[in-house]
Amino acid sequence: MHLVMIGGSDAGISAALRARELDPGADVTVVVADAYPNFSICGIPYYLSGEVARWQNLAHRTIADLEAAGMWLRLDTTARRVDVPAHKLLITPADGREELLGYDKLIVGTGAVPVRPPIGGLDGPDALGPGDGVHLLHSMGDTFAVMRTLEQAAPASAVIVGAGYIGLEMADALTVRGLAVTQMEQLPEVLPTVDPQLGALVHAELAAHGVEVLPSTTVQAVTRNTSGQPGRLHVHATAADGTAVTRAADMVLVVVGVRPDTALAAEAGATLGVKGAIAVDTAMRTNLPGVFAAGDCVVTHHRLLGQTYLPLGTTAHKQGRVAGENALGGNRQFAGSLGTQVVKIFDQAAARTGLRDHEAQPAGFDPVTIESQADDHKAYYPGSHKITMRVTGDRPTGRLLGMQLFGHKNAEIAKRVDIAATAIFNGMTVDAVSDLDLSYTPPLGSPWEAVQMGAQAWVRATQRL
């Protein structure tokens, strides 16, 4: 059995590792467009900030580790075309010659590419690019380009276009590096994946660390600054009321989301689904015989919403593992995402899992969201922090639908959202969360865990409604 994976990031490598784990005799080849298989691109902001000293440290596993697991790595090799009936993949290694690689089963893990928004100066023959200090950020190649700008051009200021989680992590990273950062976001509040009430707390944390935050601001163009004033670039934007906003900066980072990289699969005849991602069933099968797909290039099966597109590293790992097992003839199902995610912004963290009101309503729920606060551990023990929670439940059934949290980075926000994710995954009611037997000691928690206090606040408030 010869399995071929296209893509050497979370999905492709997870698939390869699972296949080798299940069948040490399986012949597994991973075709990777660059030379950086199994790198934690989630860690890029922490290398760029200087907190992770060496880019090599971002490797989940080294090339030697991967080879020791028994996979063949074809690095700097691009998959060009899939001949589905012949079970052959056309690849071009770095030297440019074409080669046909036969496979029994193929797993497509081509991931996502960063969105290039329609901003003047980013496209066309005179487009500004890394050499001018204008960057997109997704791959290790992008990372090296940003690092070159940081080290060689020694920028004093940056404009970040976009205030999603990557934009926020980069605002933190560049501030830690000593740059003056302006963050522009076209939506009314930063971190639009949480309710604006929590977004406002994130906004305050950015401002407290000197980041100039400009929400409701749409960037129109980036140009070279020829005025002789500081800042080699000008960013031209428009505020919600139509006022022109211009900032000078030495570098510009455009991080406005990703889109699935599906050209190869689509050309081979793969059906596309939500947001143009490759349609797969929960076994990660595409419509093409012998072809599986996983990760940021595929639609996401969501436990509460059905099909959506929610590209996340945690999901890519799980889907890759399922694809690797099933490509060997297994019958594993991807159990579905809840979009659980967390981000650190300076000294605070924000997290969410499940649904917010506007997502739950179209899915047929009658959602109510109640905000409350609780201490992360007994307030009498030094170092306690308030956690702000927003619990979303379904009014008629009491089912827990979602939870959002904001609090200090040491307040276990990530693991607390995971309690909620586990409860939602298992279809629990908000009320039943209080029955969970959770741990307690005063320096680390409370007899009623904060998440349980949030659940109780929801039950109290909805009893009154």
Distance CA 213, CA 217 (A): 10
- By beta-carbon proximity to ligand FAD, the closer residue of 168 and 201 is 168
The site string for ligand FAD over 318-357 (x = CB under 6 A, - otherwise) reads ----------------------------------------
Distance CA 21, CA 42 (A): 25
Is residue 115 helix, strand or coil? Answer: coil
Per CB under 6 A, 9 contacts ligand FAD? yes
Sign of the alpha-carbon dihedral angle for 286, 88, 317, 26: positive
Is residue 48 helix, strand or coil? Answer: helix
The CB-of-40 to ligand FAD minimum distance in angstroms stands at: 8
The site string for ligand FAD over 110-149 (x = CB under 6 A, - otherwise) reads xxx------------------------xx-----------
Distance CA 254, CA 435 (A): 45
Per CB under 6 A, 316 contacts ligand FAD? yes
CA 418 to chain CA centroid, Å, is 16
Answer for the pair 349, 414: CB distance below 8 angstroms, yes or no: yes
Contacts of 337 (CB under 8 A, 6+ apart): 300, 301, 302, 303, 310, 312, 315
- By beta-carbon proximity to ligand FAD, the closer residue of 220 and 308 is 308
- By beta-carbon proximity to ligand FAD, the closer residue of 198 and 277 is 277
Contacts of 262 (CB under 8 A, 6+ apart): 110, 270, 272, 276, 277, 278, 297
Helices (H) and strands (E) in the chain, counts: 12, 25
Site for ligand FAD in 213-272 (CB under 6 A): 261, 264
The site string for ligand FAD over 272-301 (x = CB under 6 A, - otherwise) reads -----------------------xx-----
Options 7-15, 116-124, 392-400, 441-449: segment touching ligand FAD (CB under 6 A): 7-15
The site string for ligand FAD over 144-173 (x = CB under 6 A, - otherwise) reads ----------------------x-------
Options 151-159, 269-277, 308-316, 435-443: segment touching ligand FAD (CB under 6 A): 308-316
- Interface residue with ligand FAD among 21, 34, 104, 431 (CB under 6 A) is 34
Considering CB under 6 A, how many residues would be counted as binding ligand FAD?
33
The label of the residue with tokens 């009430």 reads 197
3-state secondary structure 220-285: EEEEECCCCCCCCEEEEEEECCCCEEEEEECEEEECCCEEECCHHHHHCCCCECHHHCECCCCCCE
Contact residues for ligand FAD, defined by CB under 6 A? 6-12, 31-34, 41-42, 44-45, 78-79, 109-112, 137-138, 166, 261, 264, 295-296, 311-314, 316
